[in-house]
Each structure stands twice: as structure tokens, then as C-alpha cells.
């Protein structure tokens, strides 16, 4: 099953049915897109680790929104533009 998940995520994302988290930080002002995930539950399980890692970088705040949509690059957007870091 593990070898099938990447193509499945890509397919689901292509149809706009993938689950994504839009994670926004302040100071620095950055928007991160975390995904795609096939199910909301799988996103929720992984999101806590992602948010915890971001919090260690010391932003003033970290907020997130769960969305079902299709996303492409850029997945990291700064005030100045976008970055692929």
C-alpha cells in the first residue's frame, strides 16, 4: 500500500479533493501549505508535528486552516514573495 500512496495523493490533488493545511506564521509572516493528504484524519495526525517544528523556530504566532482543494507550487510564501526552502 505504501508504494501506491504517492500516486493516489497526486491523483486526489489533481481532482481538487486532497486535504491541505494552510499554516500561517507571524513574525516572520510566512504561509506554508502542508499536504496533500487523502483523508482529513491523516492530515490531522501529521499536522501536529509540522506545527510543533514551526513553533520551535520562534514565530510570534502559528495558525492553521484545513482545506480540501488542489494546490501546486509555491508551497511556502513569504511577505517578499515565495520560496521553495
* pLDDT tens, position by position, 3-22: 788 999 999 999 999 999 99
Please tell me the pTM assigned to this model: 0.85
Between strands 61-69 and 76-78, the pairing is: unpaired
Query: Residue 31 has what pLDDT?
Result: 97
Q: What residue ranges of the chain have pLDDT lower than 70?
A: 1-2, 80-85
Query: Residue 83 has what pLDDT?
Result: 54
Residues 6+ apart with CB under 8 A from 61: 25, 26, 27
Amino acid at each position: 500500500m505504501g508504494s501506491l500512496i504517492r500516486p493516489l495523493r497526486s491523483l486526489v490533488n489533481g481532482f481538487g479533493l486532497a486535504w491541505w493545511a494552510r499554516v500561517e506564521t507571524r513574525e516572520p509572516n510566512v504561509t506554508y501549505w502542508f499536504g496533500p493528504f487523502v483523508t482529513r484524519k491523516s492530515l490531522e495526525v501529521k499536522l501536529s508535528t509540522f506545527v510543533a517544528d514551526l513553533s520551535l523556530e520562534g514565530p510570534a504566532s502559528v495558525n492553521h486552516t484545513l482545506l480540501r482543494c488542489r494546490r501546486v507550487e509555491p508551497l511556502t510564501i513569504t511577505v517578499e514573495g515565495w520560496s521553495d526552502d
